[in-house]
A and B are shown apart, each in its own frame.
Chain A
Amino acid sequence: MSPRQNHFSPSTQEHLLHRLHAIQHDCLHISRESVQQVAQEFDLPVAQVAAVVAFHSFFHTQPRGRFDILFSNCTSCGYLSGEKNLLQLLCLQLHVTPGETRADGLVSIDETSCIGLCDQGPSLLINGLPITHLDDNKVVQLAQLIALETALPDWPSHWFDIHHTIHRQDWLLNGSPLPREIMLKALDIGRNNTLAMLLQSGLRGRGGAGFATSSKWQLCREAPGNARYVVCNADEGEPGTFKDRMLLTSYAENLFAGMALCAFVIGAKQGFVYLRAEYRYLLDSLQKTLQNCRHQGLLGNRILGHTDFDFDITIVVGAGAYICGEESALIESLEGKPGIPRIRPPFPVTHGYLGQPTVVNNVETFIAAAHIVYYGSETFRTIGTASSTGTKILSISGDCTFPGIYEYPFGISFQQILHDCGAQNVQAVQIGGPAGTLLSPAEFERTLAFDDVSSGGSLLIFGPHRDLLSVHRNFARFFAHESCGFCTPCRVGTPLIQKELDAIAEGRGSAYTIEELQQLGHLVQQQSHCGLGHTAANHVLDGLRKFPQVFSQHLLPHFTARFDLDQALASARHITQRDDPEAHLSND
């Protein structure tokens, strides 16, 4: 049992997710007994705690290895993004079956959805710490260190370094107002003028949907409630996005200032940063920055001496679930429940955390708001286009010479972006991650804007040698894995899309399969409950329309069985313990 359990007192404000993480960390799994104990400590139904454990990829009911390794499976930072299958290589080196813990409990190796290290080459997390720029050499060394049971602090420290490569800075990243100055300015001009400034700036949410930030704050302020909350969405789960990781590392003070501004405008006392578990290694520095802000009187009671302005921020770390980036699922998770999206309306602005009015904004949105208040809305408004003002920070990765962070004014063409990052003979670009838009070269003149092609921050480049079908299969797998399972079209439809794509790739597809994909795609898109399902089929539908040959070149001209005859007999062979030629069927 965890030594920490004895220290726990139910009166502390520890978050359920943090308690569960501590157990996972100490005991390498969360047993039925631990679930029961936590349920008692938190005075929650055991089933609720068990459901939270089952919902998250980073919690396990069976022990993981003392070295627990998660390879990213993203198209940019994944184990297949280089020449070799690195996951397979490490498994071979250490005699591990992927997904299983080695019998001696030393090591477990598995894969996980994008870990936001897409500009750092193939990457993994080992016991939560990132190792980047993997190649077969490094993997072999890594295997040796594990075999020798070398403790992580004794590993080459530069392996864990993450270098931010900011290739283009503009209005936001160039700005460096002190958080104190930002707050003084807001306190000076007052709530209404602060809000008016945001309205004039035309700032829209940077997390994807592009809702006007001033309207969100105003709606929240006007909604009846006993308390109001400010929530920063730092779940950054869209594959290919890593700009919030950079912002959380280098601009955290201004993020907290932006949240405090929001609190000032709407009248909130409590804020949360919901940080994705994949970024847990940022937690210490974020806590230090928070502490710093408190020391400067920018957070806590009577902020900068104002008797009626108390506000503080708590960081809650998730546990591996893309859906928790959806704002209502995020709030459920904050409340200690599985991240199943709520029925909307009502929206969080009126019924959010604990049913109270809540603003949920992206990291970049809060920082932009803080800078707008400090610098004024005029400059901001002149940057970008009429309906998409200001700049957008992009995380660019994939087949290009200079992957990294780029800040552009809205309205920039993708042609220009591709030129700047040294991408040549580009076959396709995925804007806004798997949930976004797939562009063919004919569309590269289109622009980055809410009313043209928008992006929460991800831009994935696929060069001339990429197999686009494998990209689609990767995306389809991502959605099937991340679907929360609440509604039928997404829960069943996303794995069906994956199966159809696999069938095509494995040479079992026909013209009928294409037709099927089309229909399935539309059904998942239109009938699902939340944004995950609404966007899960975008990439396939875009692909079928813009790159039909990617699919059609694999199709068989004659009838083919959709299932693999021989594979279908596998369980019968297993039961009868036969493997002789008679127990096999040819597919031809």
Chain B
Amino acid sequence: MTMTTDTIRIDDRDIPFTPGQTIMDAALAAGIYIPHLCHHPGLPPSGNCRLCMVKIGNRSTAACITTATAGQQIRSDTPELNATRKTITQMLFVEGNHICPSCEKTGNCKLQAMAYHFGMLDDHFPQFYPRRELDASHPDILLDRSRCILCDLCVRASRDVDKKNIFTTAGRGTQAHLIVNTPSGKLVDSPIAKTDLAANICPVGAILIKEKGYEVPIGRRIYDWQTIRETGLQEQVELKNKD
């Protein structure tokens, strides 16, 4: 073995890590993409989407919440794990009401981009067709829970970056849904602003800024030019440049 004590190995690459860093952060910093939807560099990790599941020995673990320790032998980009990730992506699709062709987010949506990434051609599972409440109360921001994948990014962005604590998730199992931290439960009564990170971080079309939907025409949107792998690695670089 060629491993030194302060590196981890992901597939066939030895990469450095800093003490306390997660496998995900170490990987992204080294330019290795591990698929993810609920992780965003700079926000505390959550571990809910499970797309970043990797294998250490026989153990499956989420890279975004597992601390890197010297000598770890991690498998990530394998046909087996990518098949699992594709299935998890399909699960996220059928659980909500994803109306891609008519969704404002189309082309900018990470869930859709993840489906492209794994060559997902169908939903595979039966649709759940959930009924979830739409909140159009706010003049600038729309919350359509039908398209929410419960990634918790808006929750963390609002709590930890915007310092407004506007969102939280509530309810169990398939009843789980996003709620707004106001007595009425409506977004209009919250101090959210369209410039907040929470209003802009949604990977799907669940939180949308109003009157901006078609500023960029379909065909010239983010994932019409780039893959989610590329944007995923860029987010890491952007975070670094900010510091």
Contacts and interface: CB of A to CB of B under 8 A. Distances in A.
Given A46-B182, A486-B48, A492 B171 contact: no
A489 B67 CA distance: 22
Given A45-B165, A528-B50, A494 B173 contact: yes
B102 interface: no
7 contacts: A46-B183, A51-B170, A338-B170, A485-B169, A485-B172, A491-B176, A527-B84
Contact of A526 (B45, B60, B126, B169): B60
B65 A321 contact: no
Interface residues of A, number: 41
Given A499-B126, A529-B62, A343 B47 contact: yes
Contacts of A488: 48-51, 88, 91-92, 95, 149
A51 B176 CA distance: 10
Interface string A478-498: 001111111111011111100
Interface in A472-521: 480-489, 491-496, 499, 519
A480 B95 CA distance: 13
Interface in B150-178: 150, 165, 167-176
Contact of A45 (B87, B94, B150, B168): B168
Interface in B88-142: 88, 91-92, 94-95, 125-126, 128
B168 A496 contact: no
Interface string B36-54: 0000000001011111010
Contact of B179 (A47, A323, A527): A47
Contacts of A50: 170, 179, 185
B180 interface: yes
Contacts, number: 122
B47 A55 contact: no
A483 B126 CA distance: 19
A496 B53 contact: no
A528 B60 CA distance: 9
Contacts of B94: 492
Given A491-B173, A526-B84, 5 more contacts: A50-B185, A55-B170, A488-B48, A496-B91, A529-B62
Contact of B172 (A482, A492, A529): A482
A489 B88 contact: yes
Interface in A249-284: none
Interface of A is mostly: helix
B48 A495 contact: no
Contacts of A519: 87
Nearest to A483: B173
Most B CB atoms within 10 A — which of A46, A323, A481, A519?
A46
B73 interface: no
A138 interface: no
A563 B171 CA distance: 27
A484 B168 contact: no
Contacts of B167: 47
A46 B189 CA distance: 13
Contacts of B51: 488
Contact of B180 (A47, A338, A481, A482): A47
Nearest to A503: B126
A231 B186 CA distance: 38
Contacts of A483: 172-173
A36 B128 CA distance: 32
A55 B171 CA distance: 5
B181 A343 contact: no
Interface in A517-565: 519, 523, 526-529, 562-563
A50 B170 CA distance: 7
Interface in A443-492: 480-489, 491-492
A302 interface: no
A445 B171 CA distance: 43
A51 B155 CA distance: 13
- Report, nearest first, the 5 A-B pairs whose CB atoms are least far apart: A485-B176, A47-B181, A51-B170, A492-B91, A54-B170
